[in-house]
Amino acid sequence: MSSQHFDIKPVAGRIGAEIIGVDLSTNLSHDIISDIRQTLVKYKVIFFRNQQLDANGQVAFARRFGEVTTAHPTVPSLPGHPEVLDLNYGKTATRANTWHTDVTFVDRPPLGSVLRALVIPPAGGDTIWANSVAAYQDLPEYLRNLADELWAVHSNAYDYAVAAVDIPEDVKAYRDVFTSTVYETLHPVVRVHPESGEKGLFIGGFVRQIRGLSTTESDDIIRLLQAYITRPENTVRWRWQVGDVAFWDNRATQHYAIADYGNQPRHVQRVTIAGDLPVGVNGKHSEAVKGDSSKYIPSLAVA
């Protein structure tokens, strides 16, 4: 793919590209936004170096691609910026060092997420993204046929941040906030992408159980499918610099923020773009089991 408006530099073989020659702080034309969106759908995650965005500019950029959600269904936003989730690791945020897709415990998970780097450790703190469409294509036909039929319950009732016996008080406090309202949603294990029509595995750290299977059976199947997603050939690793912006298609990826930087500061801020109801191979849509996503997507509350 090429664009007359900017240069595209693939970062890895199956996922990820850097967009060069775009200043996100400017009023970008509709044509540029359209090309960025096409690049996002093709490469799944796109990166912009050396950007001069503040929180308002980050929200304004995200809004060009759809409705911006509140920062999170349960976690408070950055003061004065209801759309911004402030992730100041070591101070106010628990590290998300587990493979996950953002906010899949609601019935309308985000279309995408825009992450901006404010403080980055001198070493460590990279993020890895995985292409769940390529993973589905890698499955043997009999596993694809099985996955096509499966539906899974996603919930925030267990947090991707920590699963330990001796939980520190600050982590416990965060978990209490994170699960202050419990959400559960039934999603297809294979999701049809609403723009590209591609099929991809739609699982990750918020999956609790596959419908109709025991916990043991469910865990085994999810572990098998997840192994295809996180194969090295389906991933891209980004070494952050201050000012970087990453924009990923939440409908076709998982990601993992690597917690390998000890007590060094790492400060990023995230904005999410409202998504639609996922649809499975059989044409059926996701169903909310518990919780109301209108608290997360403002237009639903108005409707």
Buried b (16+ CB within 10 A) or exposed e, 59-72: bbbbebbbebbbbb
Q: Which sign, positive or negative, has the C-alpha torsion 172, 178, 184, 187?
A: negative
- Which amino acid would we find at residue 143? L
Catalytic residue among 14, 255, 266, 267: 255
At residue 9, the 3 state secondary structure works out as: strand
The yes-or-no answer on residue 100 being catalytic is yes
The yes-or-no answer on residue 102 being catalytic is yes
> If residue 184 lies in a helix (H) or strand (E), which one and from where to where?
strand 184-188
Angle at 112 between CA 29 and CA 71, to 5 degrees: 105
Helices (H), 185-290: 215-229
Catalytic residue among 100, 108, 154, 193: 100
Task: Please say whether the beta carbons of 199 and 252 come within 8 A.
Answer: no
Catalytic residue among 14, 86, 95, 102: 102
Strands 207-210, 151-155: pairing is: antiparallel
Catalytic residues, by residue number, are 100, 102, 255, 270
